[in-house]
Structure 1
Amino acid sequence: MNDTVVVVTGMGVVSALGCSTDAFWENCKKGVSGAGLIGSFDSALFHSRIACEASLFDPDVRIPKKQSRRLARFSQFAVYAAIEAVAQAGLDIASMDPSRIGCLVGSAAGGYDVLEEQFPAFIRNGPQKGNPFSVPKTIANMASCAVAINLGITGPNFAILSACATGGHNLAIAKMMIQSGYADVVIAGGTEAAVTPMVVDSYGCMGVLSTRNDDPCRASRPFDRDRDGFVIGEGAGIMVLESAAHAKKRGAEILGAFSGFGMTCDAQSIAIPDAEGRFAAQAMRLALRDGGVSRDAVGYINAHGTSTHANDLTETRAIRLAFESAADSLSVSSTKSMIGHTLGAAGAIEAIACVLSLRDNIVPPTINLENPDPECDLDYTPGTARERKLDYALSNSFGFGGQNCSLLFGKA
């Protein structure tokens, strides 16, 4: 366990519940669903016709138009959220050594929207008539690069890609980078804009998306007996992380402590999680060990909670394995019930939810949990938010390929 304390000083969110951290959190506490019929393309023939889209997003509010036009939607999300996070952190980059500021912003999918738009044009028009920005707009690390370009950051810049654990892994490696002494500040998180025809169709054909198309707001129902798949979402979550010493030296407000992380791999299947949750449980144990925190100290877990049969059951088993008798004292919830599954952004947005929970001593709800699954037997905070004194919160993220990442946060 490294002695360097890493803290959160800024946060930014783009989501179906709003395009600011405050809007996202206020709607989370109210139990608002961000789901609706897909508006970005005609989904009439698809298995699933619903999504949690960031319909209020307007890049021009924060990003210069010339720059914005050269960015895919997932990169726009990242820059937009990073600008909010840096402003909240009071980070005056112009007065700092920009080479001591890192940027790690990942995306599981990257610019699928650009690929799906440009490929038919290429087939139709042939070579030498393509869009020269197609490749740089598409590649998944471009969101991290776009943040650095917008903010003038010259330190280490790259993107960790690990499916739906992407956001969590980028934050974990950012913490490691600060603790190693390689950077004083790292802007980190995840972003995703994968509500596109090919992605939605592919997930639909896998059978992992909800087909409750006549009732979108009630479709995402983690841990419910009648769950039938996740609702795809989009958005971004960005944190400003720095050493506590650096934050105090510049007089920054500390929003929370990034206490620990754990990372494992099931090494079993490209899509199916380990049925007993053994390696997900180990990721949670490692996060607690990294933070020097006992099981009993954790009051809240923001679950991966996708609303698929396999994930919710496996995660329940994993939490019981990791926390043993302390599992019955935990408050657990899935904010995916409100914002959908934002894939590569999920771990970062949900980490922000943990910091806000600790700040306000409020556990956000799992909405649509109306008929509890008897095999999912934890306290999932059904229906409405709950006040609870919290000292530590854990955020779980699990991804295709058996990727497991758990992040531990403590009060400021």
Structure 2
Amino acid sequence: MDAAITGLGLLTPAGLGVEATWQGLCAGRPTARQHAVLDGLPVDFCCRLPDFDAEAVLGRRLTWRLDLFTKMALVAATEAVRDAGLDPAVWNGARVGVVIGNGSGGNVGLEKEYGKLQEGRVTAISPLTIPRSVPNMVAGEIALALQALGPNFVTATACASGATALGTARDLLRLDRCDVVIAGGSESVCSRIASAGFSQAGVLSTRTHDPAGASRPFDADRDGFVLGEGAAVLVMERAAHARARGARVHGYLSGYGATADGYHPTAPDPGGQGVQRATEMALSDAGLRHEEIGHINAHGTSTQKNDLAEALVMQRMFPSRPPVTATKSVIGHGVGAAGAIEAAVTVLALREQLIPPTANLDRMDERIDLDVVTKAPRPHAMSAAVSNSFAFGGQNAVLAFRAP
């Protein structure tokens, strides 16, 4: 059973809201900049939201109570529910679930509170430190604000978390546990501890002289990913439920595949066997053949190993070479939010029959044979598309979508 996607909400470094994000991605302008919060670190740049004012949407009291990752998710959820034409004041909340992907919780706020502890100001630490920072609160706060009273939880599969959330939400609908699920991902890793930790792991680009050119998936000169932040929320419904209320449908989530590499804590299996199994699972689940896939939104982190492993799988599985794009080239890597953001962008590409470009791909890695969209958005007729998400821990999630 396909899940109908009836509402979209997006906050990304490319823009605040669905339309602004879509326009920013189609423009293909990288958003990586140096930021004062990272001053003095080996990598002092990231991709942040432009002029995000949660208080204007949520009000001062609620905004004060929440960490950034929860604020972003709640604003995106509010946009998505409004876009779906649903009214929480009258819906049957017991049949509405919430599944949100997140990788690290409130690391931005927790870092601030830990600074007080280091300074010996224990009594200055906020009593909201734990409720603000624990990952499950992002789903709990959405339930509280929107009175979504069905299944409520967070998926944590690192960089695949958002995609895992969407696949899990689709399964809840198939099992008839819910009529509606508010699903997606939210994360900010634009913090000092995240930058330092990822930098020490050797996975961040060190192109400090050219932040805008740092995220360059599939390029021969790629040297790592760029940290980002953002949120994406999709309202998903049983197709019959959406039809019964005359809802507008943006697209359908038809297939989901999830596997583990079992290879290494942080490096991908160079042969891509886990990725291939996840892709095969998603296509089988959707009842789609490889030649029916008209577009792929790649995980495309801009690291040497990940890009090559992913490209080799796409080359093996899709000999017709459907056009590929890599959203992270523009907005950086949103970790737990990335899979949900890229899924939403894939839905928009299918709806608009237009593929946003990959930025900074100046010289293709000679080992990679893909049709990557660059320079400008490409009009393209397509009825189905795939979105890839992979993670530390060897966790893979692949989503297959159909056009409305």
TM-score, length-scaled by structure 1 = 0.96
Of residues 120, 135, 142, the one that matches 2:130 is 135
2:247 to 239, 245, 252: 252
In 1: Cα distance, 2:184 partner to 2:120 partner: 38
Q: Does 1:7 align with 2:4?
A: yes
Task: Report the counterpart of residue 94 of structure 2 in structure 1.
Answer: 99
Structure 2 letter corresponding to 1:236 = A
The alignment status of 1:331 with 2:323, answered yes or no, reads: yes
* Structure-2 separation of matches of 1:238 and 1:402: 24
Deviations 1:98-146, CA, capped at 9 Å, x for gaps? 0100001121011011221111212333655531100010001111111
Q: Which runs of 5+ in 1 are unaligned?
A: none
What SS does the aligned partner of 1:273 have? coil
Give the superposition deviation at 1:50: 1.2
Spell out the pairing of 1:32-43 with structure 2 (5 A cutoff). Answer: 32-39=29-36, 41-43=37-39
Hey, what's the Cα distance between the residues in 2 that align with 1:372 and 1:320? 14
Within a 5 Å distance, the mapping from 1:7-406 to structure 2 comes to 7-39=4-36, 41-43=37-39, 45-125=40-120, 127=122, 129-323=124-318, 325-326=319-320, 328=321, 330-406=322-398
User: How far, CA to CA, are the matches of 2:155 and 2:388 in structure 1?
Assistant: 17
Q: Comparing 112-121 with 7-16, which one deviates more in the overlay?
A: 112-121
Q: Is the 8 A contact 2:38 2:45 kept in 1?
A: no
Contact 1:106 1:141 in 2 (8 A): no
Q: Could you tell me whether the CA contact under 8 Å between 1:103 and 1:156 is conserved in 2?
A: yes
Indicate if the aligned counterparts of 2:101 and 2:163 stay in contact, CA closer than 8 A.
no
Deviation at 1:72, TM superposition (A): 0.3
TM-score by length of 2: 0.98
SS at match of 2:255: strand
Amino acid at match of 2:91: M
Secondary structure in structure 1 of the residue aligned to 2:58 = coil
Secondary structure in 1 matching 2:15? coil
> Is the 1:282–1:322 contact (alpha carbons within 8 Å) kept by the matching residues of 2?
no
Report which stretch shifted further, 120-129 or 142-151.
120-129
Counterpart code for 2:293: V
Can you give the 5+ residue segments of structure 2 that lack an aligned partner in the other structure?
Answer: none
Secondary structure, counterpart of 1:92 in structure 2: coil
The alignment's C-alpha RMSD in Å is 1.1
Q: Are 1:259 and 1:409, in contact at CA under 8 Å, matched by a contact in 2?
A: yes
Return the alpha-carbon distance in structure 1 between the equivalents of residues 390 and 353 of structure 2.
25
CA distance in 2 between counterparts of 1:383 and 1:219 reads 16
* 45-54 vs 82-91, which moves further: 45-54
CA shift, 1:255, in A, is 0.7
3-state SS of 1:77 partner: helix
